[in-house]
């Protein structure tokens, strides 16, 4: 990798970090500094990733051209000299997230499933798979307007205290199992009341503690 390509890689990595921190305009600013050079590296990962991060930044800003930018990113990924499944996975996941925000649930589900399938073929960590699985659960609940969507959203808010997608998946499965066991009206109503942010904080803490005990 030459000096110019290394420079582009540093800029692309910095821009991605900005998007992850919710600093989309700053990400676009960084990408703009190598806009003229990036095409010198056509069919390389940094060239394709540039387009993906650009699309992600536009999506975060709710820019109307975001979908066109994602189309360009997918085209670049398909033109790579060497297939990059990890980048494909990210692209499908990022585009799916954008589609959920557009309430295009059917298409979002398709892309999350593709991301999950590729991640499985790469033998990705359980945490990566759990992330896509939680996203798919959320889509199903939103699309069906399921009454349990409120509980799922409470879980997501509770998880902001530092819990992983693995923790969340285990907590959600535990909650659903308990809810389905107690189908009598009064108990179901009680469970509905319990499915608050504090309820899930306690459940997530219990899940994390059990996992720690198993690994120690």
Give a yes or no: residue 78 inside a domain.
yes
**Could you report the per-residue pLDDT of 37-48, keeping only the tens digit for each?**
999 999 999 999
Q: pLDDT at position 216, please? A: 58
Give a yes or no: residue 173 inside a domain.
no
- pLDDT level of residue 215 (50, 70, 90 thresholds): low
Give a yes or no: residue 72 inside a domain.
yes
Give a yes or no: residue 17 inside a domain.
yes
Give a yes or no: residue 200 inside a domain.
no
Q: Express the helix, strand and coil content of the chain in percent, nearest 5 each.
A: 80, 0, 20
Give a yes or no: residue 29 inside a domain.
yes
Give a yes or no: residue 13 inside a domain.
yes
Q: Which domain holds residue 62?
A: 1-83
**Number of domains forming the structure of the chain:** 1
**Mean pLDDT over each residue of the chain, to the nearest integer:** 91
Give a yes or no: residue 109 inside a domain.
no
**Could you report the per-residue pLDDT of 51-93, keeping only the tens digit for each?**
999 999 999 999 999 999 999 999 999 999 999 999 999 999 9
Asked if pLDDT for residue 186 goes beyond 80, the answer is no
Asked if pLDDT for residue 3 goes beyond 90, the answer is no
44 vs 26: CA distance, rounded Å: 24
Q: Can you list the pairs that 27-30 forms with residues at least 24 positions away whose Cβ atoms lie under 8 Å?
A: 27/53, 27/56, 27/57, 28/54, 28/57, 28/58
The more confidently predicted of residues 93 and 182 is 93
Q: pLDDT at position 188, please? A: 46
Asked if pLDDT for residue 191 goes beyond 60, the answer is no
What is the pTM for the complete model shown?
0.89
């Amino acid at each position: 990798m030459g000096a110019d390509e290394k420079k582009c890689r540093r800029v692309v990595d910095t821009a991605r970090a900005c998007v992850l921190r919710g600093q989309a305009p700053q990400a676009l600013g960084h990408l703009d500094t190598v806009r003229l050079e990036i095409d010198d590296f056509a069919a390389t990962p940094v060239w394709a990733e540039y387009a993906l991060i650009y699309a992600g930044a536009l999506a975060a800003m709710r820019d109307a051209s975001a979908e066109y930018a994602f189309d360009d990113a997918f085209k670049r990924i398909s033109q790579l000299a060497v297939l990059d499944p990890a980048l494909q996975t990210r692209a499908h996941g990022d585009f799916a997230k954008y589609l959920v925000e557009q309430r295009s649930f059917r298409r979002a589900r398709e892309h999350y499933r593709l991301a999950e399938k590729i991640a499985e073929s790469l033998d990705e960590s359980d945490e990566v798979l759990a992330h896509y699985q939680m996203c798919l659960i959320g889509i199903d609940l939103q699309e069906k307007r399921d009454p349990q969507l409120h509980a799922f959203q409470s879980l997501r808010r509770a998880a902001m205290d530092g819990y992983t997608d693995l923790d969340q998946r285990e907590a959600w499965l535990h909650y659903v199992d308990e809810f389905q066991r107690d189908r009598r009206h009064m108990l179901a109503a009680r469970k509905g009341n319990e499915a608050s942010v504090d309820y899930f904080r306690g459940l997530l803490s219990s899940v994390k503690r059990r996992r720690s005990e198993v690994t120690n």
